Amino acid sequence: MVGDKSWSGRIFNGVNVLLLGIIGLVTVLPFIHVFGSSFATAGEIASKKFLLIPTEFTLDAYRFIFSTSTLTRSMLVSIGVTAFGTIWSMFISVLTAYGLSRKDLMGRNWIMFLFVFTMLFNGGMIPTFLAVKETGLLDSYLALIIPVSINVFNMIILKTFFQGLPGALEESAKMDGCNDFGILFRIIIPCSLPAIATISLFYAVTYWNTYMHAILYLSDAAKWPAQVLLRQIIVLASGLSYDNSVYTDVPPPSQAVKMAVIVVATLPVLLVYPFLQKHFAKGALLGSVKA
């Protein structure tokens, strides 16, 4: 590489590596603090004597949150909802996005506008609740998925990516006798893996973080995903009182528990991420298809 060996290229590289290193550190330090605190004793957290690694190591916080089956069970719910929800949302979003990415589709702009409009206006919690009720989804896991099938933002991003693909790809497939479904599944999707991976990640994170819908639509607490529990712990442990009129004698969860909860809530996404990350570099495929 020509650029790399020149002086300016080396300085550019060096500065870039250093800067990104610093940025990485700044973003990760608070997280390490959280991670460290989750293994610390309540006293040590209160004393604020450590920044990253506590001197006394204890697993109490984790023992506490895993001492009943609730977290394990709700984690399974979360994983299920996230997996199926992501697949479903991707399926329907890709179809919609591809259909709308085709410029020869009549009324395309109007339909697109219908979607955009829903990002700006919504009927509010109660009419939406009624729609969920009327469609028979109350108290079913589907209530966490179907009413949020498409995130218009994600769909628009997908559509933009699809539009960016060279038109020649579609033309050649048509020559080979593919119909529109054929083009989508055989050509467009394989060529858009970075975008597919990205949007899948977005959906997965949204499903993973869902909690309000669960509380609204599922009256049986046994069906709640992990975020309901995790969020409740964080809110309680942060000492936020949403309702001042109510006294309770219940001490909030300890700070270590709060930290452990953050770790537990983040870990699964961190574990999944490397698998998706591979696909972010798959853009090269495009070149090979073309060639």
Tell which positions 71-130 bind other proteins, by CB under 8 A. Answer: 80-81, 84-85, 87-88, 91-93, 95-96, 98-100, 102, 104-106, 109, 111-130
Q: Which of residues 239-278 bind other proteins (CB under 8 A)?
A: 239-253, 255, 262, 265-266, 269-270, 273-274, 277
Q: What secondary structure does DSSP assign to 199-215, as a single string?
A: HHHHHHHHHHT--HHHH
Nearest to 118, CA basis, from 95, 85, 152: 152
The residue within the footprint of other proteins, chosen from 57, 160, 167, 185 (CB under 8 A), is 160
Enter the tokens of residue 201: 């990640």
Contact residue for other proteins among 140, 174, 189, 206 (CB under 8 A): 140
**If binding is defined by CB under 8 A, does position 190 make contact with other proteins?**
no
Structure tokens at 169: 């790809």
Q: Binding to other proteins by residue 58, rule CB under 8 A?
A: no
CB of 227: closest distance to other proteins in angstroms?
10
Q: Which of residues 196-225 bind other proteins (CB under 8 A)?
A: 197-198, 201-202, 205, 212, 215-216, 219, 221-222
For the beta carbon of residue 217, count every other beta carbon within 10 angstroms: 21
Q: How many residues does the chain have?
A: 291
Q: Phi first, then psi: give them for residue 30, nearest 5 degrees.
A: -60, -35
Identified binder of other proteins from the candidate list 7, 48, 55, 175, rule CB under 8 A: 48
User: For the purposes of burial, counting CB atoms within 10 Å of the CB of 38, is it exposed (0-12), middle (13-18) or buried (19 or more)?
Assistant: buried
Q: Which of 5, 27, 168, 175 binds other proteins (CB under 8 A)?
A: 27
